[in-house]
Chain A
């Protein structure tokens, strides 16, 4: 299995570290890159400036509430860009609000995951996401 290139868009260092720990425990083949605001996420995806050599992510984990450019705007930009729209984007947020869920899917999010409050559940969710997007599914880049 080729390692999954994972781009985590998350401004909270505590959450970034939790995802790192979850990946470490899962011991699945993947590489983690982190963008701490929405504008940086788009620069990474478009390989702009210092990110010219950034790999194309096999999965983007996107928080909704971000500085500069929030997650909804990032989602709209990615899904509105013919060169990027086939990159799977999974929203990973604390919000369970119906309006947020509906909006995310309307903007063509590939999935919407509420960050579990419990650590075990959180780790299990991260593991399941990497297993699914890194191993179960076939993406355009794989064929």
Chain B
């Protein structure tokens, strides 16, 4: 059993606000963190009703829902404010967004509640600013790539026309110059095309709805049919669940991962790809595993960064945008993606799609 003085020390040290109330919602304990957040001193609030810390407009909701529901719940600890905004009220009358964890304990036969309060004003401000700057960046990328395509199409078309009409009629050096110009323009077109696709993940996503990932994979396999045939590859698909997702983006995600698995194959072995799913907490974890060339584990994060490539274009073509798109799609769904590999040992890409229901 922990010493009471030790516990008191920990409670006072915490930067979070720690508040204990009884079943009548009278404040019993109010630590230093709470004093800083709310602006009241412990002496001013102990013995007073909790609702003085709750903005007036949330009090009816608090009385009707939060505490009674928690009092009746089976669980003895819960976190509020992760899914729904919770607000606190400072002494100054200012409201602030908060995250609150509450627990229920019985002390000497008396029902008590402990609340840990975190002031998330700063975090919310960052989140809002970040969302805005991301949205602006996406908009910029979209507009820029559209407007860049037009002059680029001229450069690409006329260098190609030059090649068509004058290849072999100038000197060999001129032919080389023309070839570089044609390839450069084509490469830039591919980059802009992929950048547009990347910006569309954020700007043109559809609402999330139940999607059978088995159906999605069937679509991916049809789309990859020619590539599979050409490489002699095989894709084994395990039992896949229904998740809440943007079906089009989910297809693009699987498509990119499986296409990568086929592309980065070993020269001496036909590609074998496995697509599986398993529960992982409140999410489904999907795995796309291959027997390809793999990569050094130290690059496992870098490969998700846009334009980052581990090979020359002569070895493996590509713009370095595909996995960045995958990451963005997964994050839009609230999941995470990671890769594991070793040279020659194949690669495995794991991503999660949250599914609290199951």
Contacts and interface: CB of A to CB of B under 8 A. Distances in A.
Interface in B158-182: 158, 160-161, 164
Contact of B154 (A14, A21, A120): A14
B157 A94 contact: no
A21 B161 contact: yes
Nearest to B151: A14
B156 interface: yes
Determine the main DSSP class of B at the interface with A.
helix
Interface string A102-123: 0000000000000101111010
Nearest to A95: B146
Interface in B172-199: 186, 189
A117 B145 CA distance: 14
A39 to B, nearest CB: 22
A10 to B, nearest CB: 12
A119 B160 CA distance: 6
A117 B161 contact: no
Q: Tell which of A14, A15, A21, A117 has the most Cβ of chain B within 10 Å.
A: A117
Chain B residues touching A, range: 10 to 19
A128 interface: no
A119 B154 contact: no
Given A18-B161, A21-B161, A117 B150 contact: no
Determine the main DSSP class of A at the interface with B.
helix
B153 interface: yes
Contacts of A18: 157-158, 161
Given A14-B154, A94-B153, A117 B160 contact: no
A119 B149 contact: no
Contacts of A119: 156-157, 160-161, 164
A15 B157 CA distance: 9
Nearest to B150: A94
Interface in A1-57: 12, 14-15, 18, 21
A118 B156 contact: yes
A117 B189 contact: yes
Contacts of B150: 94
Contacts of B160: 118-120
Q: Tell which of B149, B152, B157, B189 has the most Cβ of chain A within 10 Å.
A: B157
Chain A residues touching B, range: 10 to 19
Contacts of A117: 149, 152-153, 156, 189
Contacts of B154: 12, 14-15
Contacts of A118: 156, 160, 186
Nearest to A98: B204
A11 B156 CA distance: 19
A18 B150 CA distance: 14
Q: Tell which of B149, B150, B153, B158 has the most Cβ of chain A within 10 Å.
A: B153
B149 A122 contact: no
A55 B265 CA distance: 59
Contacts of A12: 154
Interface string B18-50: 000000000000000000000000000000000
A117 B164 CA distance: 16
A32 to B, nearest CB: 17
Contacts of A115: 153
A12 B157 CA distance: 13
A21 B158 CA distance: 11
Contacts of A122: 157
B190 to A, nearest CB: 10
Interface string A71-96: 00000000000000000000000100
Contacts of B149: 94, 117
Given A94-B150, A94-B153, A119-B164, A14 B189 contact: no
Interface of B: 149-150, 152-154, 156-158, 160-161, 164, 186, 189
17 contacts: A14-B157, A14-B158, A15-B154, A18-B157, A21-B161, A94-B149, A94-B153, A115-B153, A117-B149, A117-B152, A117-B153, A118-B156, A119-B157, A119-B161, A119-B164, A120-B160, A122-B157
Given A21-B161, A117-B149, A122-B157, 19 more contacts: A12-B154, A14-B154, A14-B158, A15-B154, A18-B157, A18-B158, A18-B161, A94-B149, A94-B150, A94-B153, A115-B153, A117-B152, A117-B156, A117-B189, A118-B156, A118-B186, A119-B157, A119-B160, A120-B160
Interface of A: 12, 14-15, 18, 21, 94, 115, 117-120, 122
Closest 3 A-B residue pairs measured CB to CB? A119-B160, A14-B154, A119-B157
